[in-house]
A and B are shown apart, each in its own frame.
Chain A
Amino acid sequence: MNTETVNKTKEVAEQTERITGAEAIIKCLMAEGVDILYGYPGGAIMPVYDELYKFRDQIHHVLTRHEQGAAHAAQGYARISGKVGVAMATSGPGATNLITGIADAQIDSTPLVCVTGQVPSALLGSDAFQETDIVGISTPVTKWNHQVTKASQIPEVLAKAFYIAKSGRPGPVLIDITKDAQFEEFDFKYEKCKGVRSYKAIPDTDPKSVTAAAELINNAKKPMIVWGQGIILGEAEAELKAVVEKAGIPAAWTILGASALPTSHPLNIGMVGMHGNYAPNKLTNECDVLIAIGMRFDDRVTGNLATYAKQAKVIHFDIDPAEINKNVHADIAVLGNSKESLALLLAELNENIHEAWHQEFKDLYAIEYDKVIKNDISPTKEGLTMGEVLKQINIESKGNAAIVSDVGQHQMIACRYSEFNITKSNITSGGLGTMGFALPAAIGAKMAAPGREVVAIIGDGGYQMNIQELGTIFQQKAAVKIVVLNNEFLGMVRQWQQLFFDKRYASTEMTNPNFVAIAEGYYIKARKVVKREELADAVKEMMESKESYFLEVCVEKEGNVFPMIPSGASVSDVRLS
């Protein structure tokens, strides 16, 4: 041993402390900068909760009312902050209750670390009380998962968990820790993970691919950008804006890409996909170069692949090599982090404007405005629309609120009509379409960004899927604004029944409870609006409230969301009615 290694060993010895696995878990979380985590206690995780009690001044554990709520709250926290969200649960039912949130985080690339307690290692496989194979169950819906049976493994495994969750294309990681490992004492020392040899977080960007992409774009007559969440996850908002402006390219977004470029930006041409805007959907099949950035050509975006952008050369920027050619053939693939690859692209782009081409989008927007938007946001006939509620929220928020939407018609309306000035402001369950997401996700978002206005837009159906989280809002004094757009229907399903099942409304109509009384039962200020005249004032009162506020708006029962690409149809067959 040379003197250097001797010194190092001494140093290490001095840095270690003898603590339990449970305490180590908390110390690991704190070393990773975790200030808030969401969870629910139970037998197999009690040693960790005991340590949470000890460290309660340094790390804030939020008791949700259901583990699904904990997972979604951690997602909301992660989505608004870009940090890793943390959820904790006990073994068995506690762990399985996390699964929906984990699956949601997997498909929407949200960085989560979930820690579950497990029965003592000696009981594994014995069908012990509250034993469930959560590693097996969560395997297909996690980026990585691992079971820890010895305290000494905790620091390295948790360090790896945070690294994997956050790096590259983010995703959820589940770490299952047996109870004996939580009790066991060992010499603790924490070192952050700097790499995993079998995992390349960010693929190298081939400069030749960037040059080829730039050449194609420079020669394009009708280029169109569709960006996704890859811009937000890569924090490439400024680079996207610079590319769009320099090359004068009309740019559309997927549902998870929303807010990366302000709504008011003149080259922001709206949302693509099933209920996206008319122009970008239609003109996907007219552009000559389609530039996809950090998006994965989900079927809700592309409609029928056989008729999707067949005329266009496709350039695909992505951090995940497995996305290239998965659904749509890429003529040029640019791998890498969007922030870096777009910066490289920018340098090679010519300044350009595509006025006539941009005008085509404006013309189609005018048609959509006339046939759909006008009636949605400034209706003249009786019956409140979801769109006018969103318009009123925009007026009060001035486009600065974070909008957390649930799943259904109200979600599509929220994404279509919300105005966004600030990135990371559209928090919704895109890939999984998880009803029940919004209420807990809004809690996480508000706690991660207390300075921001957080408005949850929820349907009367989805609201009742995690309504118990009103208890968390009350206990945490989380000043979340909750808007329930009550159409007394599982509206989105009813819309499909109307359009494709001859109006056979099988199990979609709901007899709803007194929502205001329920909110008030949790000591949350609440108001119900049934008439147009009351709407503006109610929204204003809600937005001005310093505390959480519940607003129920009774909207027309059988309103429909348009435009719409019927499933299996082509993007250019987008319907306006």
Chain B
Amino acid sequence: MKEEIKTLTISIYTENNIGLLNRISAIFQRRTINIESLTTSQSEIENVNRFVIVVNITESQAKKIVGQIEKQIEVIRAYYHTDEETIYTESCMFKIKSKLLFEEPQIQNLIKDSNTRIVTVNKEFFVLEKSGRRNEIESLRRDLNAFGIMQFVRSGRIAVTKDEMKVTEMLAAFNNK
């Protein structure tokens, strides 16, 4: 029986270390797993970073990978979650010629209906920003593409989990030892 490939979100709490990104991405590379997206930022804990990595793999692959990630010295904790177990979003930006905003009334409707924010407008171009699910962003991109997009960029997924992570407790336990 072939196991189902799912979109999984891997969350990693780490110390802030220069080489760590390399170490973590190497774990995927070695197993020829494509990283769909990767975001790193400060986490809720001071001086602790959080990676959010999206991959399409089976859960048994994910378990092994999380094990290998956790094994890295500067990784505090790693988890994987299915889409149902997380609240997630992506964000994107469009740069579009300003004259289109006035020539194509359709664009204004698109902006309004899709809850897209206008970041800036000047004589040459205007910039839109939108966060949401991938399909919403994709559909907006298709719609705007009809008029011409000067630049488009989409971020990786960011996600929080529905259940607790207990990383703070873990670190407290170390400090009290």
Contacts and interface: CB of A to CB of B under 8 A. Distances in A.
Nearest to A173: B73
B67 A326 contact: yes
Given A197-B174, A321-B67, A325-B63, A139 B23 contact: yes
B10 to A, nearest CB: 15
A195 B71 CA distance: 15
A322 interface: yes
Interface residues of A, number: 21
Contact of B19 (A146, A199, A321): A146
B26 interface: yes
A298 interface: no
A320 interface: yes
Interface in B140-167: none
Contacts of B23: 139-140
Nearest to B23: A139
Contacts of A199: 73-74
Interface string B1-44: 00000000000001100110011001000100000000000000
B22 A136 contact: yes
Contacts of B175: 197
Query: Of A136, A140, A199, A325, which is in contact with the most chain B CB atoms at under 10 Å from its CB?
Result: A199
B64 interface: yes
Nearest to B71: A322
A320 B71 contact: yes
A322 B75 contact: no
A140 B76 contact: no
A6 interface: no
Interface residues of B, number: 22
Contact of A139 (B26, B67, B75, B174): B26
A145 B23 CA distance: 10
B19 A145 contact: yes
Main secondary structure of the interface of B (DSSP, over half): helix
A5 interface: no
Contacts of A326: 64, 67
Query: Of B19, B64, B74, which is in contact with the most chain A CB atoms at under 10 Å from its CB?
Result: B19
Main secondary structure of the interface of A (DSSP, over half): mixed
B19 A140 contact: no
B22 A325 contact: no
Contacts of A136: 19, 22
B90 interface: no
Contact of B73 (A135, A147, A196): A196
Given A195-B177, A197-B174, A198-B15, A143 B73 contact: yes
A322 B76 contact: no
B73 A164 contact: yes
Contacts of A140: 23, 26, 30
B138 to A, nearest CB: 35
Interface in B59-109: 63-64, 67-68, 70-71, 73-76
Contact of A198 (B26, B64, B67, B75): B75
A324 B66 CA distance: 12
A198 B71 contact: no
- Top-8 shortest CB links A-B: A322-B67, A197-B174, A198-B76, A144-B73, A199-B73, A140-B26, A322-B71, A198-B15
Interface of A: 135-136, 139-140, 143-147, 164, 195-199, 320-322, 324-326
13 contacts: A135-B19, A144-B73, A145-B19, A164-B73, A197-B175, A198-B15, A198-B74, A198-B75, A199-B73, A320-B71, A321-B70, A321-B71, A322-B71
